[in-house]
């Protein structure tokens, strides 16, 4: 009976986690990360090149629709990032969304073929209605 209760509790937690991280909320929170004002100096301006996200640590659905400069994000495996020798890419470590709050941490690696620079970002967001607002930002150049 105890095992059944534990299994039931785990199923309920998984369902709650799935509900909390709806695809729409994931898209909106991820877009807020990409559009973060404090990050824009490190991104490639109005480039025609897409932004890349390494699917390691946190993985996203490859069909998620987040745009930067009119181009969708490109989601790649760790092996693909290494084999392509990308100049820049995002690596998300934490991406937790609850009903009204979100917590995200990521590293944006840039200039990887020259001096291997990176910026680490930690964000907290609140949801009011259907809109997400960044409430706390910490940016550290590595």
| pLDDT tens figures, 84-119 | 999 999 999 999 999 999 999 999 999 998 899 999
- Has residue 2 got a pLDDT over 50? yes
Q: Measured between alpha carbons, how far is 128 from 94 in angstroms, rounded to an integer?
A: 21
Report the pLDDT value the prediction gives residue 37, as an integer from 0 to 100.
96
Mean pLDDT of the chain: 88
**Per-residue pLDDT tens over the stretch 14-56:** 444 444 579 999 999 999 999 999 999 999 877 778 999 999 9
Residue 29's Cβ-count burial label (10 Å; 0-12, 13-18, 19+) is buried
Model-level pTM?
A: 0.82
Q: Residue 49, Cβ neighbours under 10 Å: how many?
A: 12
User: Distance of alpha carbon 92 from its chain centroid, rounded?
Assistant: 5
Tell me what pLDDT residue 17 has. 45
Sheet of 89-97, strand order = 74-76, 52-54, 89-97, 101-110, 117-128, 131-141
Task: For residue range 47-65, list pLDDT tens digits in order.
Answer: 778 999 999 999 999 889 9
């Amino acid at each position: 009976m105890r095992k059944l209760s534990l299994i039931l509790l785990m199923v309920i937690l998984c369902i709650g986690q799935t509900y909390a991280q709806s695809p729409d909320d994931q898209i909106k929170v991820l877009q807020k990360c990409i559009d973060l004002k404090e990050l824009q100096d490190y991104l490639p301006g109005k480039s025609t090149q897409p932004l890349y996200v390494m699917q390691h640590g946190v993985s996203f659905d490859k069909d998620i629709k987040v745009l930067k400069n009119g181009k969708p994000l490109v989601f790649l495996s760790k092996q693909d990032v290494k084999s392509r020798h990308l100049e820049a890419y995002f690596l998300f470590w934490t991406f937790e969304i609850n009903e009204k709050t979100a917590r995200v941490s990521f590293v944006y690696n840039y200039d990887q073929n020259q001096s291997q620079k990176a910026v680490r970002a930690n964000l907290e967001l609140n949801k009011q209605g259907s809109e997400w607002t960044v409430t706390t930002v910490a940016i550290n150049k590595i």
